[in-house]
């Protein structure tokens, strides 16, 4: 049976098993699905819902005073399969996407195994073992990991084409596989896949021993395929690179402690999870069959699988393992957190080794046809065992009626959005599992908030809000979020109420507190010392307070001083007496005259238009001055004053300022990231070139 037929049959089998509940994601505890429920689902809902309504959100103004949403990468906004979210209800699209990617992973693994020389029975087992594997199952709770990893075996198929005399086909296949993996939003998974492909390429060349001409064509095909994959994904990668340059977690080598933000798990726990998360019937049988692999008669493939799997297991052992030094020495791997995600490679290696073991067993008993029946029987038993396992916590959000946010939360956020208008709210949350208004809910309800859970927030935002909460700065690279979870003084420091002026500057008029914590001494002291005024409760369990000291979101100032470094500037901005309308701090030259005719203090300006990608402000200036908008400063924004281009200066660390002459003017801010335009052009040109190359016959 051809590799395509075997792969298609296994993909269909895996889809049926997933639909029947035999491949449920693993859920070891309540925190396991936080990212799925509170990051990915609302991100898909917010972005693709807006796209479906004809009002795409490229810049998200509803979180952290505004953030470049396109560059956050993890939600895969440009990943083609995510069009499902524009066509189906979000939870139904998640179910369909998860099923399709698990099927793709299993089916393409089977196709790769068959093309690499395994029997149909060996290929079927390889595909199902990979789909049942612990890492892939766990990745269903992190869609960007699952979707990127699903293309690993597809790229391996392309490498086979590169090394068996079809370099053009292989290069095109590798470009598609790597490009789709990049677009899915997990550079770490794509990097792991690239190492798998490179290792397979080397082993195949050693086994095939091509001539100089074929060798050069294969090497060129590998380079072109990987480079073209990056260009295919340029529409997402260039905006992401722009965010990374200004982000709290830049693309660079991390310290070992930063790689493990929650601590390195014990290797024994990891390996147990890796080996027996699904049916022990299948996983233990696969391990036993892998022991027979040396008798299969495919030494090159066996060496590749054993070395690859052994290295992955060794790397996953972490800093205490003997191979971690090699892991750190390999290019790019030390850029990413959670190194034990490399176990996806061990899963793939085990799947191929198990398939080789099936062939070895059939070879030893000289019977091949019954092997297919035995493999299918084994899969059926494993599926039956899995379907009998109890459902984990919480119920997975795959149905049309699944609820991510409660109606009370949605209604509270929507009503607060109507009250707040152009001003902002701070929904204080006292822990990772105790969100007052869960992250991304403000995006769905168009509530301007200073809170979010966003691993790729900008460094300015991180510094601003961490300084508000802690009164100091710290290295953000190992940080998970900008969440301020306490109102009492940090050890040896002062409480956030002493820095309430930072909330004033960010136009935060409303603070929401959970009723259950309002009696705590630290909370009582914060409300009192920050001068907040109680208002009628927002909803049952949610108390609402107004900040009477709030400053306008748009205003004019006539004096601007050069901004010192953040560590010096933020304490100045946080002082209760700091008045940005009397004088602000800018990065760059505002070129404001300081004549005696300029008023001592500016005035508020009027926001005429307040859309995600465009904000228009009408300001009246008695003298040349600076029009300030308390929205996040970022390089993708441009400004005009009465239609004439004007510079945007980083003002008061986080915000934007535009110089303007005396008189009444309309200042327009527009989000027009050049990285998106250039990236889209590169992606389109590359896709057209690949399509054209596909039509050219392969030369022998």
pLDDT (average), residues 287-305 = 86
Same-domain status, 363 and 450? no
29-51 pLDDT, tens digit per residue, is 556 677 888 889 999 999 999 99
Q: Following DSSP, what letter does each residue of 83-118 receive, concatenated?
A: GHHHHS-HHHHHHHHHHHHHHHHHHHHHHHHHHTT-
Same-domain status, 305 and 415? no
Predicted pLDDT at 584: 96
332-387 pLDDT, tens digit per residue, is 999 998 899 999 999 999 999 999 998 888 777 665 557 777 777 778 777 776 76
Same-domain status, 530 and 642? no
52 falls within a domain? no
Does residue 483 surpass a pLDDT of 70?
no
85 falls within a domain? no
Does residue 678 surpass a pLDDT of 90?
yes
Distances (CA, A) of 631 to 63, 432, 450, 452: 10, 26, 10, 15
126-160 pLDDT, tens digit per residue, is 999 999 888 898 899 899 999 999 999 999 999 99
Is the pLDDT higher at 89 or at 628? 628
29 falls within a domain? no
44 falls within a domain? no
Q: Following DSSP, what letter does each residue of 472-510 receive, concatenated?
A: S----TT---------SPPTTS--GGGGTHHHHHTTEEE
Predicted pLDDT at 430: 78
**String of b and e for 388-413 (b: at least 16 CB within 10 Å)?**
eeeebeeebbeeeebebbeeebbebb
Highest mean pLDDT among 268-272, 309-313, 397-401, 668-672 belongs to: 668-672
Does residue 276 surpass a pLDDT of 70?
no
- Cα 583–chain centre separation: 38
Per cent of the chain over pLDDT 70 is 91
Same-domain status, 533 and 621? no
Same-domain status, 567 and 527? no
Is the pLDDT higher at 696 or at 47? 47
> Where does 338-368 have alpha helices with state H?
343-365
Could you count the other beta carbons within 10 Å of the beta carbon of residue 567?
Answer: 11
Q: How many CA atoms lie within 13 A of 146 on its CB side?
A: 29
Domain final residue, candidates 358, 390, 422: 390
Chain mean pLDDT for the chain? 89
Nearest-10 crossing angle of helices 120-132, 280-290: 130
Could you count the other beta carbons within 10 Å of the beta carbon of residue 471?
Answer: 19
Burial of 2 per CB tally in 10 Å (0-12, 13-18, 19+): exposed
Q: How far apart are CA 27 and CA 142, in angstroms?
A: 12
How many folded domains does the chain comprise?
3
Residue 645: pLDDT band (50, 70, 90) is very high
Does residue 619 surpass a pLDDT of 60?
yes
Q: How far apart are CA 574 and CA 556, in angstroms?
A: 20
Is the pLDDT higher at 293 or at 342? 342
Same-domain status, 523 and 610? no
Instruction: For residue 402, give the nearest of 41, 147, 102 by alpha carbon.
Output: 41
Predicted pLDDT at 31: 61
Predicted pLDDT at 393: 46
Contact 478, 255 (CB under 8 A): yes
Lowest mean pLDDT among 95-109, 412-426, 446-460: 446-460
Instruction: For residue 222, give the nearest of 198, 239, 240 by alpha carbon.
Output: 198
Does residue 20 surpass a pLDDT of 90?
no
Highest mean pLDDT among 278-292, 433-447, 555-569 belongs to: 555-569
**String of b and e for 653-685 (b: at least 16 CB within 10 Å)?**
bbbbbbbbeeeebbbbbebebebbeebbebbee
Q: How far apart are CA 407 and CA 539, in angstroms?
A: 11
**String of b and e for 259-284 (b: at least 16 CB within 10 Å)?**
bbeeebeebeebbebbbebbbebbbe
Token pair for residue 597? 């005719």
pLDDT (average), residues 104-115 = 97
In what helix (H) or strand (E) does residue 555 lie, and over which residues does it extend? strand 554-557
Same-domain status, 538 and 631? no
Q: How far apart are CA 112 and CA 157, in angstroms?
A: 5
Same-domain status, 304 and 236? yes
Q: How far apart are CA 64 and CA 385, in angstroms?
A: 46
Q: Which domain covers residue 261, as residue numbers?
A: 3-24+90-390
Does residue 475 surpass a pLDDT of 80?
no
Q: How many CA atoms lie within 13 A of 538 on its CB side?
A: 29
Strand, helix or coil for residue 644: strand
Does residue 200 surpass a pLDDT of 80?
yes
Q: What is the residue whose two structure tokens read 């820095």?
A: 499
Q: What is the residue whose two structure tokens read 């050693």?
A: 206
Same-domain status, 580 and 641? yes
Predicted pLDDT at 212: 87
Residue 272: pLDDT band (50, 70, 90) is low
Q: Which 8-state DSSP code applies to residue 67?
A: B
Q: What is the 3-state secondary structure (H, E, C) of 250-315?
A: CCCCCCHHHHCCCCCCCHHHHHHHHHCCCCHHHHHHHHHHHCCHHHCCCHHHHHHHHHHHHHHHHH
68 falls within a domain? no
Residue 248: pLDDT band (50, 70, 90) is confident
Contact 622, 662 (CB under 8 A): yes
148 falls within a domain? yes
Does residue 581 surpass a pLDDT of 70?
yes
Token pair for residue 75? 């939600």
531 falls within a domain? yes
Q: How far apart are CA 409 and CA 427, in angstroms?
A: 12
Q: Which 8-state DSSP code applies to residue 38?
A: I
Burial of 488 per CB tally in 10 Å (0-12, 13-18, 19+): middle
Residue 595: pLDDT band (50, 70, 90) is low
Q: How far apart are CA 438 and CA 451, in angstroms?
A: 9
Domain final residue, candidates 390, 420, 438: 390
119 falls within a domain? yes
Same-domain status, 536 and 558? no
Distances (CA, A) of 254 to 193, 335, 482, 545: 20, 6, 19, 40
pLDDT (average), residues 283-293 = 82
Same-domain status, 243 and 217? yes
Could you count the other beta carbons within 10 Å of the beta carbon of residue 452?
Answer: 22
Sequence-ordered strand ranges (E) for 330-461 = 424-427
Same-domain status, 122 and 269? yes
Contact 317, 311 (CB under 8 A): no
Could you count the other beta carbons within 10 Å of the beta carbon of residue 30?
Answer: 11
Residues 6 or more apart whose Cβ sits within 8 Å of residue 401 = none
């Amino acid at each position: 049976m051809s590799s395509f037929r075997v792969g298609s049959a296994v993909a269909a089998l895996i889809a049926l098993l997933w639909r029947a509940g035999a491949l449920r994601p693993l859920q070891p505890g309540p925190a396991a699905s936080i990212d799925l429920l509170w990051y990915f689902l609302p991100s898909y809902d917010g972005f693709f819902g807006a796209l479906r309504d004809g009002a795409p959100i490229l810049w998200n103004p509803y979180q952290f005073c505004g953030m470049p949403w396109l560059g956050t990468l993890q939600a895969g906004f440009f990943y083609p399969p995510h069009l499902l979210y524009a066509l189906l209800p979000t939870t139904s699209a998640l179910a369909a996407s998860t099923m399709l990617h698990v099927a793709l992973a299993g089916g393409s693994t089977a196709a790769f195994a068959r093309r690499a020389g395994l029997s149909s029975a060996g290929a079927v087992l390889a595909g199902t073992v990979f789909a049942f594997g612990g890492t892939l199952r766990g990745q269903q709770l992190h869609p960007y990991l699952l979707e990127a990893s699903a293309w690993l075996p597809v790229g391996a198929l392309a490498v086979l084409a590169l090394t068996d005399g079809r370099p053009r086909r292989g290069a095109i296949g590798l470009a598609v596989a790597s490009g789709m993996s990049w677009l899915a939003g997990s550079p770490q998974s794509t990097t792991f896949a690239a190492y798998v492909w490179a290792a397979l390429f080397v082993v195949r060349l050693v086994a095939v021993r091509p001539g100089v001409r074929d060798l050069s064509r294969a090497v060129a095909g590998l380079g072109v395929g990987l480079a073209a994959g990056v260009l295919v994904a340029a529409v997402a990668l260039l905006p992401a690179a722009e965010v990374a340059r200004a982000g709290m977690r830049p693309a660079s080598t991390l310290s070992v402690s930063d790689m493990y933000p929650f601590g390195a798990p014990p290797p024994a726990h990891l390996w147990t999870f890796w080996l027996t998360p699904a049916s022990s019937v299948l996983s233990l049988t696969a391990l036993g069959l892998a022991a027979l692999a040396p008798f299969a008669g495919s030494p090159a493939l066996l060496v590749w699988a054993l070395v690859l799997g052994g290295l992955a297991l060794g790397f996953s052992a972490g800093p205490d393992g003997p191979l971690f030094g090699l892991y750190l020495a390999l290019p790019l791997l030390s850029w990413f957190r959670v190194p034990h995600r490399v176990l996806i490679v061990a899963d793939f290696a085990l799947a191929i080794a198990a398939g080789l073991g099936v062939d070895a067993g059939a070879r030893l008993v000289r019977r091949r046809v019954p092997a297919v029946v035995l493999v299918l029987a084994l899969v059926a038993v494993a599926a039956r065992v899995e379907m009998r396992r109890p459902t984990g916590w919480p119920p997975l959000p795959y149905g049309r009626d699944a609820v991510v946010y409660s109606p009370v939360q949605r209604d509270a956020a929507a009503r607060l959005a109507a009250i707040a208008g152009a001003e902002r709210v701070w929904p204080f949350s006292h822990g990772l599992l105790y969100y007052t208004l869960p992250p991304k809910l403000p995006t769905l309800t168009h509530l301007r908030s200073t809170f979010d859970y966003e691993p790729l927030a900008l460094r300015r935002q991180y510094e601003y809000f961490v300084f508000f909460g802690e009164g100091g700065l710290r290295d953000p690279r190992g940080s998970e979020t900008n969440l301020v979870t306490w109102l009492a003084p940090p050890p040896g420091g002062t409480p956030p109420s002493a820095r309430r002026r930072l909330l004033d500057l960010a136009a935060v008029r409303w603070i929401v507190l959970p009723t259950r914590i309002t009696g705590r001494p630290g909370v009582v002291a914060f409300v009192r010392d920050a001068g907040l005024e109680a208002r009628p409760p927002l909803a049952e369990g949610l108390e609402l307070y107004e900040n009477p000291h709030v400053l306008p979101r748009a205003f004019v100032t006539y004096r601007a001083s050069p901004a010192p470094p953040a560590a010096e500037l933020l304490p100045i901005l946080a002082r209760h007496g700091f008045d940005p309308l009397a004088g602000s701090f800018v990065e760059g030259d505002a070129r404001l005259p300081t004549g005696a005719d300029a008023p001592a203090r500016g005035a508020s300006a009027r926001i005429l238009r307040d859309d995600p990608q465009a904000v228009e402000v009408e300001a009246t200036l008695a003298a040349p001055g600076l029009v300030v908008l308390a929205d996040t400063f970022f390089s993708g924004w441009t400004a005009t004053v009465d239609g004439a281009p004007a510079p945007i200066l980083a003002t008061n660390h986080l915000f934007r300022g535009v110089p303007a002459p005396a008189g009444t003017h309309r200042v327009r801010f527009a989000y027009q990231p050049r990285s998106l335009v250039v990236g889209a052009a590169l992606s389109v040109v590359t896709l057209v070139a690949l399509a054209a190359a596909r039509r050219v016959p392969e030369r022998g």
